[in-house]
Copies of this chain bind each other. A is one copy, B any other.
Amino acid sequence: MSAYILKTTDKVPEPTLRRLPWYLSNARLMKERGERYASSTQLARQLGMDASQIAKDLSYVNVSGRPRVGYEVDELTEVLERFLGFTEMHTAFLFGVGSLGGALLADSGLKQFGLQIVAAFDINPKLVGTQINGIPIFHTDQFPQKFHEYGGIHIGVLTVPINIAQQVTDTMVSGGIKAVWNFTPYRICVPSGIVVQNTSLYAHLALIFNRLNLE
């Protein structure tokens, strides 16, 4: 923690990327409480984790620690926010305005973390032409046209029924989408180079139910 550690150009391991938001949360809270420095031992105590793990994770991020005092809380917060991509706004399209899709459109919290859903697509004639939370809903057939109109959209949020999950993914990818945030419990196939992040609430529910039964 004593020396300036340069950001590596290596791919950051997924477990590290999953833990970094925890450090950011704690840094933000320390900042709120007016604390100036956070050492990895302090963070370790707060998080119930190993200090060496935290120091290792933070070595991927371009942040310097000072001997004995630790990381500057302001700097740690800013560097983590920037590193995690939360300071930059990323635009996205959402596919499938069902119950979960509609809920995500209504959740303006995503914007605070750098994701702005700018338009949604569905085939339901009752939804096409309407808006949720100010976000317009177009017919899925209009996707290629809207992709060019909006420009610079790389992320597609997938919240369709499982029976069309693959088909809609194919449409998204052939239309130019580079990353699919898959909320369906369906395992989608994509060409190499396309990013897929699975966030199946149902798989997480299954984990809870299973673990509860064992207690």
Contacts and interface: CB of A to CB of B under 8 A. Distances in A.
Interface of A: 11-12, 14, 17-18, 20-22, 24-26, 28-29, 32, 47-49, 84-86, 88, 90, 98-100, 102-104, 106-110, 113-115, 154-155, 162-163, 178-179, 181, 184-187, 189, 193, 195, 197, 199-215
Contacts of A115: 205
Nearest to A189: B48
A199 to B, nearest CB: 5
Contact of A209 (B47, B85, B206): B85
A204 B104 CA distance: 14
A185 B21 contact: yes
Interface centre among A11, A18, A103, A186 (most CB of B within 10 A): A103
Contacts of A108: 99
A206 B17 contact: yes
A190 to B, nearest CB: 10
Interface centre among A48, A187, A200 (most CB of B within 10 A): A187
